[in-house]
Amino acid sequence: MQGIVLMRRAEQTKPTICRVKAEMDKTDASGILPNGVRLERVYDRSELIGLTTENVLTNLAFGVLLIFAVQWLFLGSLRSAIVVAATIPFVLFSRSRSWFCLGSRRTCSRLARPHRRGDRHSR
């Protein structure tokens, strides 16, 4: 027998996964299930989420350093290079925060692809 756990819309993934794991462990330890039957995780997204978050932060740091170096090299001004490099994380954070506050479900991958006619996410 298999079961699927669905996450509610707009819920945070990591806390939901932790709560599901805790419930599964509690159910296994409670003795509710027949002898020899136990709950098993088949697909766990927590590792994928950790790797994706690490990848995004690494790419962000690399991008900031690259833009800082190019800005400093071409303009020759350390101050302007620092200002530009410092604004990149701020802009990304504030933009994603505004999407969250407005209830938009857009992600970076959806924004990167070209919009097609009739695409329901092209608003």
The pLDDT tens digits of the residues spanning 8-37 come to 877 788 888 889 999 989 988 888 888 888
Q: Is 90 exceeded by the pLDDT of residue 98?
A: no
pLDDT digits (tens, 9 = 90+) for 43-95: 888 888 888 888 888 888 898 899 889 989 998 888 988 888 888 888 877 77
Nearest Cα to Cα of residue 45 among 13, 4, 22: 13
Q: What is the pLDDT of residue 122?
A: 47
* CB-based contact 66:84 (threshold 8 Å): no
Over 70: is that where the pLDDT of 102 sits? no
0.75 exceeded by pTM: no
Tokens of 91: 């802009």
Please report the pLDDT score of residue 97 as a whole number. Answer: 73
Is 70 exceeded by the pLDDT of residue 111?
no
Domain definitions of the chain by residue range: 13-34+41-112
- Alpha-carbon dihedral sign for residues 5, 6, 10, 13: positive
Element (H, E) at 117: none
* Cα 84 → chain centroid: 25
